[in-house]
Amino acid sequence: RRLRQRHGSVVRGWRLEVDRRGAGGVALRDFGEACTRLGLHGKSNVVWDSLRPDGSAHPLQLHEFSSSEEVNDLQYFADTCYLALGPDPEAVWRYFDANRQNFFTLEEF
């Protein structure tokens, strides 16, 4: 909820506050720092343990952190791009940026 309140969406908040390195996942230490920035100092281990009941130390990913509709929609979009265009992000970008302008408009999307 705090990510949405501060940044307008969970996905944007995840990118700006939690996964600041853009790695696609976040380790416990980085997650703890994000919780502190979000005013949840001292609660990161409780949240982490609730998301990792088996005690796993694997990095936490966005879809594990939030099951909001926007996260599900983003995953669906990513899966669709992968199935249609393959695993290369550059191929996906070239598909959407057909005019090779290094951007595309909402209408083009």
Structure tokens at 49: 């343990």
Task: Quote the pLDDT of residue 28.
Answer: 92
Task: Quote the pLDDT of residue 31.
Answer: 92
Task: Quote the pLDDT of residue 18.
Answer: 92
Distances (CA, A) of 45 to 8, 11, 65, 87, 89: 25, 22, 14, 34, 34
Question: Which of 67, 3, 73, 72 lies closest to 31, judged by CA?
Answer: 3
Q: Which residues are CB-contacts of 3 (< 8 A; sequence separation ≥ 6)?
A: 9, 10, 12, 13, 14, 17, 18, 38, 66
Q: How far apart are CA 98 and CA 59, in angstroms?
A: 35
pLDDT tens for the 109 residues of the chain, in order? 788 888 888 889 999 999 999 998 999 999 999 999 988 888 888 989 998 888 888 999 988 877 778 778 888 888 899 999 999 989 999 998 988 898 888 787 7
Task: Quote the pLDDT of residue 41.
Answer: 82
pTM, two decimal places: 0.66
Q: How far apart are CA 52 and CA 48, in angstroms?
A: 6
Q: How far apart are CA 24 and CA 36, in angstroms?
A: 20
Backbone torsions φ then ψ of 26, nearest 5 degrees: -135, 135
